[in-house]
A and B are shown apart, each in its own frame.
Chain A
Amino acid sequence: MAIKHSPEALMVYLAMSLWLISAVARLMGRWACNGAPATRKVLRGLGEALFAAGCLVVAIAFTMRWRSIGRPPLQTMYEVLMALGVAMYPVWLFCRHVLGARGTAGASVIGIAVLVPVGFVLRDGSEPLNPLLQSPLFVPHVALYLLGYVVLILAAMQVAGCLTMGVGVAMYRPDARAGNLRSKSQELEALGHRLVLLGFPLLIAGLLLGAVWGKMAWGDYWNWDPKELWSLATALVYIAYLHFRAVFGTRYHWLNAALVVIGAIALLVTLWVSMSSVFKSVHAYAA
């Protein structure tokens, strides 16, 4: 862990601070102002504005990086996580206003978690693009995966509440409160399902583009690389979830939620594989 002093890094620290204040403001607006709707409205608006401002700051850092290296910065893990940070707010905005997703504070916290390695762990050095990465499929492959990751992590955030409510239902059953919890839990699961329907095709598009790229680069769709296998495992978890839900609907909505969360965990492992020395991968591009 080390503090960086470059203008890019300072922008990242600023964005993290803005998102932290945003999360606190949103949570205060939700919990601490029950009798003051005007104050609650102001705090929630402030939280939203700071979330947007943080995204703008990360976007500026990303643009500075792009200009300094002369190509889209999606090669190293530092650059990929920064790009994830940029995508966070626009994707969240879409999910909230179009799909009805909830939890702006949670989304801010996820954004902070994404930027922590960028700010404190990963080296910010850049390397020229090696011949294997010089493909028109490079940017779409990575970008689709990033968008898919953001949406699916947000989906897991939605259904995480569903799982905790499941514990509540088990404790309060057959009390009337269990009924309230159950219907709220089903609502969250349905929200999560909508986000999975948005994010899953992006994940598969990234996977298939990677296979096409592999074929064009060295003649194989698939190299059985650890990162490829973890990506496949992630996709298969979501396929299992979609099949289960297609058959049983929301009857076992806690199990649906558990599968979405397992998928998000597999997704995080897939991201981590690039930085890990546990797996020897041709995708190990972490700086």
Chain B
Amino acid sequence: MDKGKSWRLFLLWLAFAAVILWACLSVAGAFLGADRARDMFNSPALAMFWLVFFCLLLAALVLLPGMLLRPGSLLMHLGTMVILGGAMWGSEKGHEVAREKLGIDKPREGYMLLFPGQVSGELCSQDGRHIVGQLPFEVQNKGFGVEYYPSGPWSLVLGFPVPAARDQEQWRMMPIAWKVGQEFRLPGTNIYGKVLEYLPAAAPVYANAASQPASARADANSDRAAMKLALWRGSQPPVETWLIPTKDPDKTGLTLEDLVGPAMGEGGACIGLFRPHRDTKAYKTDTAVRAGSQEMLRQTIEVNHPLHFGGYHVYQMPIYQKGQRFTILRAVSDNGLYAVFAGFAMVMAGLVWQCWIVPVAGHFRRRRHGH
């Protein structure tokens, strides 16, 4: 076997081993979990592996001249190199090298927590504890909101206080199946009830400057429901009342004793109206990009619809807790982005050529020649 051929065979076995090793490392990483896998694949040991892999791809182009004659193979290997190069350039290490060697001082990524009206270009770490850099522009939060999918009807719930340890009170909650006009019994009591009216979107109606609403009216702009109940104990005449959230937008309740009088064993039981779980449809931040006092761009940022400006993409983070007014955005540098996308396109083009077009063309060529 001539030396060239034995080198090529050695290279191919090395490539085969590298691919198998990479597959095994991926499986190991899957068992370690995302955070530990990230640390493993970004460790100095694996940085060497990436370098060796890159060199193997380069060596393939040099030592396998046949590769240059096969456009599919060439595109796939070149494309992989372009992806690796772009990903390295866009990595934290790549930004450090750009800063030290080329004087390009650009933070790779960071987070911004912006209250309504706040303008900032400062990026902080994910835990918010330290500043990691400054964007070349500023972002203003002109309004943050969460949209929800329409939810089902509100839940009617009976709650019993249960004394817990250290005199803290907990509640045992029991849902009540309800339908407008249908009678029900409150479990564990001799109280009966009926839902007289249900308004999925309602506003409270106050009588004579009272602190509690006397009734409710339909209001399409409201996100709170209201329910008119009739409750009675035994043969007593029913007491009618409205349940509508006022202080807490998600729930309201009334003590049964206040409504239908005291009874043994109920111990402060309440009847409540609770908002059902709502699925989030969208997180939206209306933003303005500012350079000095000038507004350069206005855009609503949503998940899957980032803002692109000044060499950065700014993403909406899907983070929200009840009562939260601020928005959390993440900015990521564009370094290497277009190289990676170009590499993806090259790999796909090479695959389609090598795996689909070449075999099909070969088949038709053989048929034409009568094989």
Contact = CB atoms under 8 A, between A and B. Distances in A.
Contacts of A233: 23-24, 26-27, 30
A212 B20 contact: no
Interface in A130-153: 130-132, 134-135
Tell which of A132, A205, A212, A226 has the most Cβ of chain B within 10 Å. A226
A244 B27 contact: no
CB-based closest 8 A-B pairs: A236-B23, A219-B332, A131-B303, A233-B26, A224-B37, A226-B30, A229-B30, A201-B351
Given A130-B280, A131-B281, A212-B344, A197 B356 contact: yes
B348 interface: yes
B12 interface: yes
27 contacts: A130-B280, A130-B318, A131-B283, A131-B318, A132-B318, A134-B303, A197-B356, A198-B356, A204-B351, A211-B344, A212-B341, A213-B304, A215-B337, A218-B303, A219-B306, A224-B29, A226-B34, A233-B23, A236-B19, A236-B22, A240-B16, A240-B23, A243-B15, A243-B16, A243-B19, A279-B33, A280-B34
Nearest to B23: A236
Tell which of A200, A225, A229, A232 has the most Cβ of chain B within 10 Å. A229
Interface residues of A, number: 46
B340 A201 contact: no
Contacts of A200: 351, 355
B149 to A, nearest CB: 4
Contact of B27 (A197, A229, A247): A229
B303 A239 contact: no
Contacts of A120: none
A131 B9 CA distance: 50
Interface in A202-255: 204-205, 208, 211-213, 215-221, 223-227, 229-230, 232-233, 236-237, 239-240, 243-244, 247
B19 A239 contact: yes
Tell which of A127, A130, A213, A280 has the most Cβ of chain B within 10 Å. A130
Contact of A205 (B15, B87, B348): B348
Interface of B: 9, 12, 15-16, 19-20, 22-24, 26-27, 29-31, 33-35, 37-38, 41, 87, 109, 149, 279-283, 302-304, 306, 313, 315, 317-318, 330, 332, 337, 340-341, 344, 347-348, 351-352, 355-356, 359
Contacts of A205: 348, 351
A128 interface: yes
A227 B315 CA distance: 23
B355 A223 contact: no
A230 B304 contact: no
Given A131-B282, A201-B352, A229-B29, A218 B344 contact: no
Contacts of A83: none
Contact of B315 (A219, A225, A226, A244): A219
Nearest to B22: A236
A277 to B, nearest CB: 13
A57 interface: no
A128 B279 contact: yes
A273 interface: yes
A220 B340 CA distance: 12
A224 B38 contact: yes
A61 B304 CA distance: 30
B265 to A, nearest CB: 38
A82 B302 CA distance: 31
A244 B30 contact: no
Interface of A: 127-128, 130-132, 134-135, 194, 197-198, 200-201, 204-205, 208, 211-213, 215-221, 223-227, 229-230, 232-233, 236-237, 239-240, 243-244, 247, 266, 273, 279-280, 282
* Binding site secondary structure of chain B: helix
B57 to A, nearest CB: 12
Nearest to A239: B19
Contact of A218 (B24, B30, B34, B330): B330
Given A128-B279, A130-B280, A236-B26, A219 B330 contact: yes
A10 to B, nearest CB: 26
Contacts of B332: 219-220
B279 to A, nearest CB: 4
A127 B149 CA distance: 10
Contacts of A198: 355-356
Contacts of B356: 197-198, 201
A237 B19 CA distance: 8
Contacts of B16: 240, 243-244, 247
A230 B315 contact: no
B304 A201 contact: no
Contacts of B34: 223-226, 280, 282
A224 B41 contact: yes
Nearest to A130: B280
A230 B303 contact: no
B304 A208 contact: no
Contacts of B29: 224, 226, 229
Contact of A135 (B12, B15, B304): B304
Contacts of B20: 236, 240
Tell which of B23, B283, B303, B340 has the most Cβ of chain A within 10 Å. B23
B133 to A, nearest CB: 15
Nearest to B27: A233
B23 A221 contact: no
B283 to A, nearest CB: 6
Tell which of A224, A273, A279, A280 has the most Cβ of chain B within 10 Å. A224
Nearest to B341: A212
Nearest to A233: B26
B348 A134 contact: no
A39 B360 CA distance: 36
A204 B348 contact: yes
